[in-house]
Amino acid sequence: MAFREFERLSPNRDPAPHERLGALFHHSELGFGETIERMLNPGSRVSYHCLIDADGTRCTLVPDGEVAWHAGASRFLGRDRCNDFMLGVAFAGDTDAAPLSGPQLASALEWLESRWSRLGWAPDRLADHRQVSPGRKRDLNPAQWDRLVAAVAAHFGRSSSPERVSMLK
């Protein structure tokens, strides 16, 4: 692994088995350290599975097999409650104020790489918070989402997940 990764487990999580159908991207607005502090505070009632700093360092806050509290009211793949089936990944910072850094994008690809084939993911298994909670959430900035999509397509290709069509029925 090119980027450092460490674990600080958040109390804000459910032990229920996670379906891991894809990844939902956020920005945290706050900086890396401040976001971790917020996730470690039970009073905040929020968490992501993974937080990515501007230098590409990743913090695991909730294990993949458990449910993190990142999406709230949301809908994707024809289903409500994205927390049950989408892993939550956040870029530290505010993508409306500053673009994603190169290391942040590369680190996200590295995080995806270790899950992509094993979990049967494809580009259509990725979304951002803005798309699954329209009108309620603004992350990511659309131009930064487009950069992420382009980086994913360049790295993994553009083909769809085989189950996508049946899931949308």
Binding site for Zn ion (CB under 5 A): 26, 129, 139
Tokens of 137: 């959430």
Q: Which is nearer to Zn ion, 31 or 120 (CB)?
A: 31
Q: Which is nearer to Zn ion, 142 or 160 (CB)?
A: 142
- Closest approach, Cβ 118 to Zn ion, in A, equals 25
Q: Which is nearer to Zn ion, 53 or 139 (CB)?
A: 139
Q: Are 11 and 40 in contact (CB under 8 A)?
A: yes
- Closest approach, Cβ 168 to Zn ion, in A, equals 23
Tokens of 115: 């899950």
Residue 135 CA: distances (Å) to CA of 7, 74, 87, 132: 33, 11, 21, 9
- Closest approach, Cβ 2 to Zn ion, in A, equals 26
DSSP 3-state of 76:
strand
